[in-house]
Amino acid sequence: MPLFRPEAMQALRRWREPAFVAVFFALSVWFLWKALVQSSWISGMIGLAMAAVVGSVLYVSYMRASIKTDSDGPGIVEVREREITYFAPENGGSMDLDMLLRLQLSTLPSNSGDRNWILWYPGGSLVIPTSADGAGALVEAFAALPNLGYDKIVRAMKADTQEIFTIWQRGS
């Protein structure tokens, strides 16, 4: 019999990267504090640089953990050199990220899951469940879009309402 419930283990696995980075952030802040107490400006600069770098890594890992979903949904997502391919029994497809006109996240109920990415391109759209295997690579691919805000993705993923959130649109 396992010590922890499977849901608890899944949550621990999801947040292990931010927790690990947070330990290093605390160590870098401690190093900075020790340098300031001892009036060592060289150690202080090193501690400040460490805290800045580790702090930014902590922010990115927190955002990734906030966006991460299970990979038990239908289909497989593959991202290769800005080419997004969704292999699915129904409604699969492929598109180039440079052709993307609008990126939306739907929280409306559907057959493929409770959340779906909607990628609009000239002539149609590609609907990909956030729970598809490999869908985590989409967020990293979307990072190449100009003026994309991760905060919009996090808010849409955490939303309790059933609606379609526009995350990014070309030209805006």
Give, for all 172 residues of the chain, the pLDDT tens digit: 678 888 788 778 888 999 999 999 999 999 999 988 988 888 889 989 999 999 999 988 888 787 766 667 788 999 998 899 999 888 889 999 999 999 999 988 776 667 899 999 998 999 999 888 888 888 888 888 888 888 888 888 888 888 999 999 988 6
* Whether 169 contacts 103, CB under 8 Å: yes
* Whether 13 contacts 4, CB under 8 Å: no
Distance between terminal CA atoms of the chain? 53
80 plus 165 within the same structural domain: yes
Range of the domain at 101: 76-169
Please return the burial class of 43, using the count of CB atoms within 10 Å of its CB with bins 0-12, 13-18 and 19+: middle
* CA atoms of 64 and 141, how far apart (whole Å): 13
113 plus 156 within the same structural domain: yes
60 within domain boundaries: yes
* CA atoms of 93 and 78, how far apart (whole Å): 11
165 plus 89 within the same structural domain: yes
Torsion of CA 10, 53, 25, 69, to 10 degrees: -10
pTM of the model: 0.73
1 within domain boundaries: no
Angle between helices 150-158 and 41-67 (to 10 degrees): 40
* CA atoms of 150 and 145, how far apart (whole Å): 11
pLDDT of 113 reads 66
127 within domain boundaries: yes
163 plus 80 within the same structural domain: yes
* CA atoms of 79 and 85, how far apart (whole Å): 6
Look at the block and give the residue holding tokens 């609009």.
120
106 plus 126 within the same structural domain: yes
What letter does residue 91 receive in the DSSP assignment?
S
> Which token pair is 123?
């002539």
80 plus 63 within the same structural domain: no
